[in-house]
Amino acid sequence: MSDKLEEIFLKQSELNDAIFAKQGIRGPDGEVLTMAAIRKALEREELGPNGLPNQWLRNYLTALKAEAVEVEQDLLWKWWSKDRIDIQNIRVEIVDLMHFLTSMALVAGLSPEDFHRLYTKKHEVNQKRQEDGYSKANKNEADNKGVI
């Protein structure tokens, strides 16, 4: 069985390329944009506000936030209500969040292995923070610097 995260990254990259082609989205060179072109811009350290990595991280973040709002709109807040959440739609919206999070990871140059490694290291930081009684009073972002 193939690695599921690797499969997600591959499918998302292919979907993004298909969308760029279908929508006629072009890169600075005038060619149809591809995820490979965004990765090359990242490798060339084109990290300014007009660089492809910044532009597409922003685009995908905007989409991610919009999807999060869609989840929020499906949730109920009136505790006195007899309404019920549509859990199936919420599940699909969560998968949409994963689409855009994966796109952001791809634009940032993360492989599935990198993502897993960073997730695991950050998870350890979060566990330690909880063990130490994490609060504003003892918050220290220095521990995030070690997540590489």
Report the range of poorest mean pLDDT among 54-63, 75-84, 138-147. 138-147
Averaged pLDDT of the chain: 94
SS (H, E, C) the chain: CCCHHHHHHHHHHHHHHHHHHHHCCECCCCCECCHHHHHHHHHCCCCCCCCHHHHHHHHHHHHHHHHHHHHHHHCCCCCCCCCCCCHHHHHHHHHHHHHHHHHHHHHCCCCHHHHHHHHHHHHHHHHHHHHCCCCHHHCCCHHHHCCC
Segment 78-122, tens digit of pLDDT: 999 999 999 999 999 999 999 999 999 999 999 999 999 999 999
**Predicted TM-score of the model (pTM):** 0.90
Position 2 confidence tier, pLDDT thresholds 50, 70, 90: low
